[in-house]
Amino acid sequence: MFTAAITFLLILSILVLVHEFGHFIAAKRAGVWVEEFGLGYPPRVYGRKIGETMYSINLFPIGGFVRLHGEQTEEGISKPKKAFFYKNKKKRFSILIAGVVMNFILAIVAFTVVYTFSGVPRETDKVIVSGIAKDSPAESAGIKDNDVIESVAGQEVKDIGKFIEIVETKKGEKITLGLKDKNGAERHVEVTPRINHPDNEGPIGVAVTQTEMYFPPIWKRPFLGVYNGFQEAIFWGETIVIGLFTVIKNLLTGVVPKDVAGPVGIFAMTSEVSKFGILAIINFLGVFSVNLAIINIVPFPALDGGRLFFLGIESLIGKKVVPKIEAAIHMAGMVVLILLIIAITIGDVRRLISAGSLSGFLENAVK
């Protein structure tokens, strides 16, 4: 539990710091005075001013923040030429979008690391076992992950369609599977495909794929890793956008989906992922980073997307929205977000108590 908590805080801090670092770099390039770049959230424990910027370490060790001169209104601006408020639309856009861009870059880097060390996927003419259902005929027969299914009931199989077709016609009959393990050793096992089986399992209880992890020469791995890392980031971006639209639709009808995770749910996922080692954690970091980027770009007040929305309005009407009105709308948006997080967290806690454990909580969430 302690290790999971540290991992959770570390992942969250990396994600937020990278996001804020994007704003920091873009602001510096645009000539905006960065008043403070903070690690963690106030109150401040330690601070040192380097140049114009105060670099601080703060009491609450989650994430960080960037404070820009003239970020919200004209009030308190002492250096107009270095105020965010007075920069042109192009520079303000680059600063606002930079956090999202950095989160996508972090995701690509994370996925690149995973693919570089765990291999890159490629399609084959093999039927490869990628999962075994608990208490299934496959588990009883001793079938293992990464076993290659070479034959079913004496018939050679080289694609998933053929495998499924044969198994479906042999329900209730004892059949022999020809297998080859990851070391190349061949063996035969007997199974009886179930006539009645759970909806999320097949007659035998195996998940199969024709994609294998390929380990190219060392010098090729970084290049293939970057390519596949980029593709993975795009895949998760599309998946999260679709999921987000579903969540918004449900929320508009007054339904909070049970698979929406708050801090408790994310901690539960982190705890589970931590059991599978550093590459699993890095992969989770990548997925979480894409998620943070997508959520931040949503045009909702208080989020980066909300600020970009007001920038768009400014471009359409030819002048800024009254600063105090925009600030009030962002504050209202922040209140709504906080209330939503509280509601989701309460739901998470209730489900956790009902499940009795973090693992049980996750199992119930995916049902």
Q: Do residues 104 and 127 share a domain?
A: no
Q: Which two tokens stand for residue 164?
A: 């499924």
Q: Do residues 93 and 196 share a domain?
A: no
pLDDT confidence of residue 361: 60
Q: Is the residue at 275 inside a domain?
A: yes
Q: Do residues 202 and 316 share a domain?
A: no
Pairing of strands 155-156, 175-180: unpaired
Q: Is the residue at 79 inside a domain?
A: yes
pLDDT confidence of residue 256: 58
Whether residue 7 contacts residue 281, with contact meaning beta carbons closer than 8 Å, is answered with yes
pLDDT confidence of residue 107: 96
Residue 43: is the preceding peptide bond cis (ω within 30°)? yes
Domain boundary among 151, 179, 214: 214
pLDDT confidence of residue 235: 93
Q: Do residues 188 and 168 share a domain?
A: yes
Q: Do residues 144 and 239 share a domain?
A: no
Q: Which two tokens stand for residue 293?
A: 């980027």
Is residue 302 helix, strand or coil? coil
Domain containing 208 — which CATH number?
2.30.42.10
Q: Do residues 156 and 204 share a domain?
A: yes
Domain boundary among 214, 245, 262: 214
Q: Do residues 250 and 328 share a domain?
A: yes
Per-residue pLDDT of the chain (367 residues; tens, 9 = 90+): 678 788 888 898 899 899 999 999 999 999 999 999 998 888 899 999 999 999 999 988 777 889 999 887 777 788 889 999 889 999 999 999 999 999 999 999 999 999 999 888 888 889 999 889 888 999 989 999 889 999 998 899 999 999 999 999 988 889 999 999 888 899 999 999 998 888 788 899 889 999 888 888 888 888 888 999 999 999 999 999 988 888 778 777 766 566 667 777 788 888 888 888 899 999 999 999 999 999 999 999 989 999 999 999 999 998 888 888 988 999 999 999 888 888 888 877 887 787 766 666 666 555 5
Q: Is the residue at 52 inside a domain?
A: no
Pairing of strands 148-152, 120-132: antiparallel
Q: Is the residue at 196 inside a domain?
A: yes
Q: Do residues 358 and 241 share a domain?
A: yes
Residues spanned by the domain of 196: 121-214
Q: Do residues 265 and 208 share a domain?
A: no
Q: Is the residue at 48 inside a domain?
A: no
Whether residue 178 contacts residue 186, with contact meaning beta carbons closer than 8 Å, is answered with yes
pLDDT confidence of residue 322: 87
Q: Is the residue at 348 inside a domain?
A: yes
Total domains, the chain: 2
Radius of gyration of the chain (CA): 26
Q: Which stretches of 89-169 are assigned E, i.e. beta strand?
A: 120-132, 148-152, 155-156
Q: Do residues 260 and 312 share a domain?
A: yes
Q: Which two tokens stand for residue 61?
A: 């060790």
Q: Which long-range contacts (CB under 8 A, 24 or more apart) does 342-349 make?
A: 343/256, 344/256, 344/260, 344/261, 344/262, 344/265, 345/262, 345/263, 345/264, 347/256, 347/258, 347/262, 348/261, 348/262, 348/263, 348/264, 348/265, 348/268, 349/264
pLDDT confidence of residue 360: 64
Pairing of strands 175-180, 148-152: antiparallel
pLDDT confidence of residue 28: 94
Q: Do residues 192 and 264 share a domain?
A: no
Q: Is the residue at 234 inside a domain?
A: yes
pLDDT confidence of residue 39: 87
Q: Do residues 10 and 103 share a domain?
A: yes
